[in-house]
Amino acid sequence: MKPLHHATTERDAHSLTPQEELVTGSEILLRGLLQEGVECVFGYPGGNVLYIYDAMVGNPDFKHILTRHEQGAIHAADGYARSTGKVGVCLATSGPGATNLVTGIATAYMDSVPLVIITGNVPTTVMGTDAFQEADIVSITMPITKHSYLVRRVEDLPQIIHEAFYIANTGRKGPVLIDIPKDVSNQQMRYRQAPELDIRGYRGAPEPDTDQIERLLQVIQQSERPVILAGGGVVYSNASEELIEFVHRTQIPVATTLLGLGGFPSADPLFMGLAGMHGAYTANTAIQNADLIISIGSRFDDRVTMALNGFAPKAKTIAHLDIDPAEIGKNVKTDIACVGDIKSLLTYANQHAESARSAAWLAEVQQNKADYPLRYKDTEDELKPQFVIEMMHETTHGEAIVTTDVGQHQMWVGQFYRFNRPRSLLTSGGLGTMGFGFPSAIGAQVGNPDRLVISVNGDGGMQMCAQEMAICAIHNIPVKIVVINNQVLGMVKQWQEIIHEQRFSHIDLAGSPDFVKLAEAYGLKGLRARTKAEARRAWQEALDTPGPVLVEFIVPKHENVFPMVLSGTALDQMLLGDFE
């Protein structure tokens, strides 16, 4: 019997032109992905995607990496997308395979990451009968996708693939789902490329509202205490250079959100640091005393604004530049609304921008940076996690791609690793997904084979996707895996200690594996450090090793992240820890 992925007989092949060739839905899918420039698909097979996986056999142009869990697949695709600016792609079967993607889809949706998620489904003939491994994944994920397709006819597949990539990567970017029933993946049609796009009702990035930009520029010229809050939109629109020019022309200091880190270089004198719950004193204080707030690609997230009734109380004007009109005025009342692609908005603004009246303000900001730097109580007796992050920065000169999981280590990276360029920090900001850090680093390394990729994890999050170390070993993906091991769920412990009066509940991670032995079991080099000297030696050995390495840093349980703004309080009501 001829293999299923060869849909024509030898005689048919000679009688048909390439545009008339009979192919299956599975082959159309693979060809469509290649035509969209997909470099790698991360996936996990199962019964209802077997035709798709069969079509991969003997296709040298199609690269697929088999993860060890569907969650690993979608986080890897996410890391690939964030680090490259391209659309990430993952593939899973129906039922549990598809539902295992849900957390990763929500992660990408919250952070505006362009993904195309392909799932299999039961044949159309048994849909709705509760067939084996049937799940209505389109309905399940509708609130967390930008758009979804259920492919009922193979003839629709070329157009759907083309549309999905366009929708995912235009306007406010996000995940798009394509659900393909098993019989559709094996149906035949005469091959044709997708026609030109004509998506009724869909609008990509609107043209820049130049009238609103002109209004903003006039306000800037009169402002004495302006602040720019730069978010992930700067990174996603590739507008870092335009932002730098705008800042220097207007002489306005910059604070960033977590996802905005790297969008403005940390070494620039006008950079104030991270804003928000664990933001720098200078950044938070400047926002609270500013007469003008300019949000650029930031959605005024609650972890940035903290108590809304106490946010930026002295601001006479709040301006918001964003590609998504739904975000403007959603959380914070906006006086000047500039809708459009950030790169386009700033390009126009830079043609006319002039300096604010900010000389005295900048001197005050610089004095605050000198008086209230990010700091911690260092000691030779313990290995502090902040020291580890500082060491990473110093040895890599801020040039690595750093992925994080979620928790205290995530905040320490945001505070103490000073990023030089965009798409260098990959972290789950909106959803706060534990398990994201390590597999996203795999995707980042696949997309950036010539850059150093470091995955920083807590001992909690590392155990959620540790099985993906198999991929690093098999494919020699040289991610440097860092485990900041404090033996507890650190951020939960910090909240219980400070907010719940030290009533600690279910945070002890005793019984965790020996991470070094676990790495070695997967075929990776494993190293451990308990002191500063050991940390320096182990980290340098990791950097000098060509392949993947896991380094476990044993740090104290009691260390907390400061500054900290408690929920329900204003940005300037910061706890400074040992430096109160």
**Secondary structure (3-state) at 358:** coil
Do residues 457 and 437 make contact, with C-beta atoms less than 8 angstroms apart? yes
Judge whether 380 counts as a catalytic residue. Answer: no
DSSP assignment string, 287-345: HHH-SEEEEES----HHHH-SGGGSSTT-SEEEEEES-GGGTTTSS--SEEEES-HHHH
**Secondary structure (3-state) at 273:** strand
For residue 515, how many other CB atoms are within 10 A of its CB?
23
Identity at 452, one-letter amino acid code: L
DSSP state for residue 207 in the 8-state scheme: P
- Cα–Cα distance, 308 to 300 (Å, whole number): 10
- Cα–Cα distance, 236 to 3 (Å, whole number): 43
Among residues 435, 213, 159, which one has the least CA distance to residue 321?
Answer: 213
Judge whether 534 counts as a catalytic residue. Answer: no
Do residues 26 and 32 make contact, with C-beta atoms less than 8 angstroms apart? no
DSSP assignment string, 19-39: GG-EEEHHHHHHHHHHHTT--
The torsion defined by the Cα of 469, 45, 54 and 16, in degrees rounded to 10, comes to: -110
DSSP state for residue 348 in the 8-state scheme: H
- From the candidates 132, 193, 367, 377, which is the catalytic residue? 132
Judge whether 132 counts as a catalytic residue. Answer: yes
Among residues 412, 221, 385, 401, which one has the least CA distance to residue 317?
Answer: 221
- Cα–Cα distance, 513 to 35 (Å, whole number): 44
DSSP state for residue 169 in the 8-state scheme: T
The torsion defined by the Cα of 570, 576, 577 and 578, in degrees rounded to 10, comes to: -160
- From the candidates 27, 36, 70, 552, which is the catalytic residue? 70
- Cα–Cα distance, 240 to 228 (Å, whole number): 13
Helices 25-35, 157-168: axis angle to 10 degrees equals 30
Q: In what order do the strands lie in the sheet with 175-181?
A: 64-66, 41-44, 88-92, 115-121, 175-181, 147-150
Judge whether 2 counts as a catalytic residue. Answer: no
* Beta strands at 453-458 and 188-190: parallel, antiparallel or unpaired: unpaired
Question: Two tokens at 94?
Answer: 């129906």
How far is the CA of 177 from the CAs of 101, 435, 553, in angstroms? Answer: 11, 22, 39
- Cα–Cα distance, 145 to 359 (Å, whole number): 45
- From the candidates 182, 384, 480, 532, which is the catalytic residue? 182
- From the candidates 277, 469, 491, 574, which is the catalytic residue? 491
- From the candidates 35, 86, 127, 133, which is the catalytic residue? 133
- Beta bridge partners, 526, equal 550
Judge whether 133 counts as a catalytic residue. Answer: yes
- Residues in the chain, overall count: 580
Please list the active-site residues: 70, 132-133, 182, 491
